[in-house]
């Protein structure tokens, strides 16, 4: 019988479970803040790309109905 491989996530959870509750809460806060910063960075990158498209004249403007028509390839 082969030994079962433990996933990296499972290993991390075991390490976290060994921490005192206060440290676990601190870790949750740190991870939450890092995820927020990651999302902010993604939003900023998307905004820069959008502004660049507008300045280069590559952006299209219109209503929701216009977008639907474009997506459905309708005239």
C-alpha 66/C-alpha 46 separation (Å) is 22
Q: What pLDDT was estimated at residue 70?
A: 85
Mean pLDDT (the chain) is 92
- pLDDT tens digits in sequence order for the chain, 75 residues long: 566 899 999 999 999 999 999 999 999 999 999 999 999 999 999 999 999 999 999 988 889 998 888 889 876
C-alpha 59/C-alpha 52 separation (Å) is 9
- Domain spans of the chain, in order of start: 8-71
Q: What pLDDT was estimated at residue 60?
A: 82
pTM above 0.75, yes or no: no
C-alpha 37/C-alpha 15 separation (Å) is 24
Dihedral-angle region of residue 59 (phi above 0 means left; psi in -120 to 50 means alpha; beta otherwise)? beta
């Amino acid at each position: 019988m082969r030994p079962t491989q433990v996933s990296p996530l499972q290993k991390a959870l075991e390490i976290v479970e060994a921490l005192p509750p206060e440290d676990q809460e601190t870790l949750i806060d740190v991870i939450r803040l890092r995820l927020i910063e990651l999302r902010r960075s993604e939003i900023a990158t998307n905004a820069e790309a959008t502004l660049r498209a507008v300045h280069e004249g590559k952006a299209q403007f219109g209503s929701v109905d216009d977008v639907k028509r474009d997506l459905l390839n309708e005239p």
